[in-house]
Structure 1
Amino acid sequence: MTNKLSIVKQGGFALLAILLVAGSMTYSNAAQAHQIKAAITTVLFNPRTENIEVMHRFNMHDAEHAVKVLFEKNADIIDDKGTQQAFADYVGKHFALLNIEDESLPLTQVGFEVEGKHFWVYQETDQPPALEGLKIRHDALRDLWPSQVNTINVEGNGPLKTLTFTDNVTLLEVGFNASHH
């Protein structure tokens, strides 16, 4: 603190320089925060339908940039149903549910939608009668941006479980207590 006080005493120009540097650092940090690439997925065990429902939520800003790289420069995920379908298909190819024995649970695409600042992709599969746990792969957008973080919340089969895909993580696992089936 004494350094700042002595700089203030030396004149207004030093103080102005400090304020400008601090302001640019704040602006830089805000710009970097906007660059964080992240998606959230909910894997919900729905007791009413006896399905496992999957809801992927992507930031529209990230999806807009992604489709221009994945498909073509003029791709329009906001207004073009074809681009929306292509992105939903891409997400489906980059997400998988497996049982503990590494057997794939076949997911059906239920739909997709633009909702404000988000793009949603919906999938589902039948809930197996005895499921000790899940192995999950979620590498959507991680092929484009290695810093992409995909978070998954598993709900409706015991306590909420959260998985986070970062760095080189490709497969994560959750176990279930048999009394919650």
Structure 2
Amino acid sequence: MKPLSLLTLSLLLSLWSSASSAHQYHFGMTDLSLSQDGERIEIVHRYSANDLARALNLQGAEDFSSAEGRLERYLNANFGLGCENATSLDWVGVEAEVRDVWIYQEVERSQLGSQLCVSNQVLMELEPSQVNTINLGGKLKTALKLTAPDSMQIRQGQGKIRL
């Protein structure tokens, strides 16, 4: 009887560990902040490496550094700043860790005009439960949570959010 209980316990533990390692929460974080000289808005994205690999359809040993061009095109298609026309964002680079991918972009502040409009649909085509949070830096820290493909408009200079 004892060997059966150890076998059962072992089986249950292996099932539990594989289920608990499954990726159940789908979220992304984007930080927007002013550069030290105040001329550029610096953009830092953080997403799950597994989710981005699925979005880019990475195969086998292919990694993010070899797919940087695809990642840049994907991000430009799914994240944007600018109200009437999406402003072209400058690609700074990407860093991939085991669990997360960090993506860096920037844009000249003068290109954005008097309004800041943010659209973030990254990974929402893959996961209906995807939540993308946008942290706006500066003196006032504000976070926007996007849970469906949506655009947020924030008028600069109204005391709500200043970059």
- TM-score normalized with structure 2 length: 0.73
CA shift, 1:130, in A, is: 8.2
Q: Does the aligned pair in 2 maintain the 1:51–1:124 contact within 8 Å?
A: yes
| 1:37-48 matched pairs, under 5 angstroms | 37-48=26-37
| 1:1-181 matched pairs, under 5 angstroms | 31=20, 34-48=23-37, 50-68=39-57, 73-74=59-60, 76-77=62-63, 81-99=65-83, 102-128=84-110, 131-156=113-138, 158-167=139-148, 169-177=149-157
SS at match of 1:104: coil
Equivalent position amino acid for 2:156 in 1? F
Task: Give the structure with the larger helix fraction.
Answer: 1
CA distance in 2, matches of 1:139, 1:115: 22
Distance of aligned partners of 1:85 and 1:129 in 2 relative to their CA distance in 1, 3 Å threshold: closer
Q: Deviations over 1:10-32 (max 9, x none)?
A: xxxxxxxxxx9xx99xx59x749
Q: Deviations over 1:83-138 (max 9, x none)?
A: 23312321122111014xx2433211111111342111111111128854311111
Q: Does the aligned pair in 2 maintain the 1:43–1:152 contact within 8 Å?
A: yes
Distance of aligned partners of 1:114 and 1:93 in 2 relative to their CA distance in 1, 3 Å threshold: same
Distance of aligned partners of 1:139 and 1:75 in 2 relative to their CA distance in 1, 3 Å threshold: farther
CA distance in 2, matches of 1:75, 1:149: 28
Equivalent position amino acid for 2:28 in 1? A
Structure 2 alignment gaps of length 5 or more:
1-8
- TM-score normalized with structure 1 length: 0.67
Name the % identity: 28
CA distance in 1, matches of 2:115, 2:143: 13
SS at match of 1:82: coil
**CA root-mean-square deviation:** 3.1
CA distance in 2, matches of 1:88, 1:105: 14
Structure 1 alignment gaps of length 5 or more:
1-19
Bigger radius of gyration among the two: 1
CA distance in 2, matches of 1:108, 1:92: 10
